[in-house]
């Protein structure tokens, strides 16, 4: 897996990342269009572009710097802005039409060195072997390390910033409500100076229903966060504090009171099986408590937590991320066995708190 070190304004970092990932962007665009046609009810490329345009307009109001980033990414990557918009908002487009994600798994364990969080980033197969790590610094914001998808906003696949704020995401898709882009708000939250600021961006209304694990190493705090909207749930935001007990989440609602049944439960996809496996580890007291053990748990292929393209052609494991916010450390293992460098280590260290 490649690692990019990028510095500059929102537009400038977009240009630089576009240049570095330009070879992948046409493939990602073409496969994203095909994937949405085959696996969602969006119907046509014209409808995709209209939805992407709607999200551009709402993002201009909520986080205009994200649009500057997209403009830079289009310029550096040699694609039309409309193509970048389609890629960047593809999850929101799919969210509006498909309600049963088969995606990420997260486990957080308290240790003597602070919370240790393991996460498998599972997503569409066009990103397999194309993920990249990023060391990003934009003036006026904390420096941030993250795992990333080509063509998307930075920081969506696991992030840890210089203020030791960590964010990981588990998609929840019942009754999607068009509004703010959850991925644009996630990008902004990854640049937050503390946990409360991050949660404010993640929960900004109108929010698509989603789950985040949010941790702040300066206080060694960790919360599970489910966000939604008035159409979908009785609550807009539920935070779950696990205290000093292990915590896990997959891709169905655990805390919100939904106004209709969660489709992830209705279709009985493997989100329930993945949660059961993680809860079993917790119940037996068999959770990993070192970064090495956490990497091993999540990166070992079992067809459940870790899935190859052959095992699940619509949602595959792209990489394993392990974060220890208190010590400012992040480990990434590429799920592609052919990667020239599968393991990466990124660290801020305690000195970054000053």
Question: What is the C-alpha to C-alpha distance for residues 228 and 234, in angstroms, rounded to an integer?
Answer: 9
CA distance 353 to 286: 32
The stretch 322-345 carries a mean pLDDT of 97
Tokens found for residue 234: 């009785």
Residues 202, 2, 301, CA angle at the centre, nearest 5°? 75
Provide mean pLDDT across the span 301-329: 94
C-alpha separations of 37 from 40, 41, 97 in Å: 6, 7, 11
* Burial of 354 from C-beta contacts in 10 A (0-12 / 13-18 / 19+): exposed
pLDDT digits (tens, 9 = 90+) for 280-293: 999 999 999 999 99
Helix extents (H) in 218-333: 263-266, 271-283, 291-299
The Cα–Cα gap between 211 and 189 comes to: 14
The mean pLDDT of 278-307, rounded to a whole number, is: 97
Q: Do the beta carbons of residue 32 and residue 65 sit within 8 Å?
A: no
Summarised one tens digit per residue, pLDDT across range 168-180 is 999 987 777 778 9
pTM of the model: 0.96
CA 164, CA 180: separation in Å to the nearest integer? 26
Show the domains of the chain with their CATH numbers. Answer: 2-95 (1.10.439), 105-353 (3.60.60.10)
User: What's the pLDDT tens digit per position in 220-271?
Assistant: 999 999 999 999 999 999 999 999 999 999 999 999 999 988 888 877 678 9
Beta bridge partners of 167: 159, 214
Q: Count CA atoms within 13 Å of residue 169 on its CB side.
A: 32
Q: What is the pLDDT of residue 25?
A: 98
Q: What integer pLDDT is reported at residue 99 of this predicted model?
A: 56
pLDDT grade for 332, boundaries at 50, 70 and 90: very high
Q: Which of 36-45, 180-189, 328-337 bottoms out in mean pLDDT, i.e. has the lowest?
A: 36-45
| pLDDT score recorded for residue 169 | 96
Mean pLDDT, the chain, whole residue set = 94
Residue 343 in contact with residue 309, Cβ under 8 Å? no
């Amino acid at each position: 897996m490649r690692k990019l070190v990028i510095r500059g304004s929102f537009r400038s970092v977009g240009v630089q990342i576009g240049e570095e990932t330009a070879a992948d962007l046409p493939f990602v665009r073409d496969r994203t269009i095909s994937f949405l046609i085959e696996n969602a009810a969006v119907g046509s490329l014209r409808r995709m572009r209209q939805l992407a345009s709607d999200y551009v307009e709402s993002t201009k109001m909520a986080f205009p710097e994200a649009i500057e980033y997209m403009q830079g990414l289009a310029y550096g990557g040699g694609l039309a802005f409309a193509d970048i918009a389609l890629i960047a908002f593809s999850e929101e487009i799919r969210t509006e039409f498909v309600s049963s994600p088969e995606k990420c798994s997260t486990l957080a364990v308290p240790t003597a060195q602070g919370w240790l969080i393991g996460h498998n980033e599972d997503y569409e197969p066009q990103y397999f072997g194309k993920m990249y790590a990023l060391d990003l610094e934009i003036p006026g914001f904390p420096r941030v390390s993250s795992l990333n998808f080509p063509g998307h906003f930075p920081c969506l696949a696991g992030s840890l910033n210089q203020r030791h704020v960590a964010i990981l995401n588990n998609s929840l898709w019942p009754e999607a409500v068009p509004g703010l882009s959850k991925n644009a708000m996630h990008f902004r939250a990854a640049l937050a100076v503390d946990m409360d600021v991050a949660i404010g961006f993640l929960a900004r209304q109108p929010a698509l229903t989603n789950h985040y694990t949010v941790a702040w190493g300066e206080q060694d705090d960790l919360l599970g966060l489910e966000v939604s909207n008035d159409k979908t749930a009785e609550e807009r935001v539920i935070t779950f504090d696990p205290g000093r007990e292990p915590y896990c989440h997959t891709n169905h609602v655990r805390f919100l009171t939904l106004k209709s049944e969660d489709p992830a439960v209705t279709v009985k996809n493997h989100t329930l099986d993945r949660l059961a496996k993680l809860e079993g580890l917790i119940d037996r007291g068999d959770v990993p408590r070192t970064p090495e053990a956490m990497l091993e748990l999540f990166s070992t292929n079992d067809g459940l937590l870790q899935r190859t393209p052959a095992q699940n052609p619509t949602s595959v494991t792209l990489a394993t991320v392990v974060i220890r916010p208190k010590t400012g450390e992040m480990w990434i293992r590429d799920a592609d066995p052919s990667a020239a460098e599968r393991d990466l280590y990124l660290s801020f260290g305690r000195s970054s708190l000053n």
